[in-house]
Amino acid sequence: MKNKSFLIRRFYSFINTGIILLCLLGSWFHSNGQDLEPRAYLRVPVNVNVILPGFNYSQGKVLTDPSIPLKDFKANVEMVSLAYARTFSLFGLTAQAFVAQPFCFAHASALVNSQFTSVDRTGLADTRARLSVLLLGGKALKMPEFVKNKQRRTILGTSLTMQIPTGQYFSDKLVNLGTGRWAFKPEIALSQPLGNRWLLDVYTSVWFFTNNDAYFPGTALRTQDPIGAIQSHISYNIGAFAWAAFNATYYVGGNSTVNKQPNDDQVSNVRLGATLVIPTSKRSGLKFAFSDGAVVTRGQNFATASVGWSYTWFGKK
């Protein structure tokens, strides 16, 4: 019994730097290609549960297709979200299931046919769900085994993210909280320790989109090409339970058509950000993040700040 208690104490102190990292609170408001998620692929024990409430504020503009009568489009978006994550064994490998539901308060304004107009939207945004698996360096371990085998190692992981069209969507409106379609993102990730304190993450992914057959003004068919993205993160362990990261992503693609008529709306943008995680207890922590568009040629040019809190508990098995 004494030995078991010792293992549990060691586990709490070690895993605190890992479980907090599951707090993946980015910009959920139509953010395909813009995700910045440092330390998203970590070696953690199975049967771990995390709940993740958070708040996100985004402000900026959307650079639109010059051919449409919507100019100088700006938006302020406040979002609260609730997410849940659980780790488990999948064919002997560490896997994680993650789901998040955002609720948005948005104010948007634009010039439509040279006339100023504004609109407010309040409601659900699209649900996100993700399944990730550590293919290399991520053997599924229960808590006692994990504590005894805590050396840092190279990790190769993969995931599939789904954006589910549960968000508020009005087919006769141009500005919506939901997208009115499904989206899927397969991803491959490499996580490489650099000494005792540094960690390098590199992810590459592609977003694929289904068609929206109820696009504005309600009867149009909108299609969109895939968007490819690459993320890179360099993070530093400040102390036993705290870390900071510098984040960057580049995404390109996404040409769309409406009723088979092509739009001039391909994106080719760079986004930069920073993340700070600090513990609040052995089972909880706070995550602060900020990101902004560094080079934006088309699409969203938002500055986003977010704060999230995570609480961890462990399954009985």
Q: What is the mean pLDDT of residues 161-166?
A: 96
Residue entry with tokens 């339970």: 241
Q: How far apart are CA 88 and CA 86, in angstroms?
A: 7
Mean pLDDT of the chain: 85
pLDDT tens sequence across 302-311: 899 999 999 9
pLDDT band with cut points at 50, 70 and 90 for residue 317: low
pLDDT tens sequence across 110-136: 887 778 888 899 999 999 999 999 999
Choice between 315 and 199, residue whose per-residue pLDDT is larger: 199
Q: Which of 208, 217, 299 is nearest to 259 (CA)?
A: 217
Q: Which of 94, 97, 96, 204 is nearest to 153 (CA)?
A: 94
| pLDDT for the residue 10 | 45
Does the structure show a pLDDT above 90 at 153?
Answer: no
Which superfamily, per CATH, for 2-314?
Autotransporter beta-domain (2.40.128.130)
Does the structure show a pLDDT above 70 at 6?
Answer: no
Q: Which helix (DSSP H) or strand (DSSP E) does residue 14 occupy?
A: helix 2-19
Residue 159 burial by CB count (10 A; 0-12/13-18/19+): exposed, middle or buried?
A: buried
Does the structure show a pLDDT above 50 at 174?
Answer: yes
Question: Token pair for residue 138?
Answer: 């991520």
> pTM of the full predicted structure?
0.86
Contacts 24+ apart (CB under 8 A), 241-244: 241/13, 241/16, 241/17, 241/20, 241/278, 241/279, 241/285, 242/17, 242/276, 242/277, 242/278, 242/279, 243/17, 243/21, 243/39, 243/276, 243/277, 244/274, 244/275, 244/276, 244/277
Q: How far apart are CA 248 and CA 250, in angstroms?
A: 7
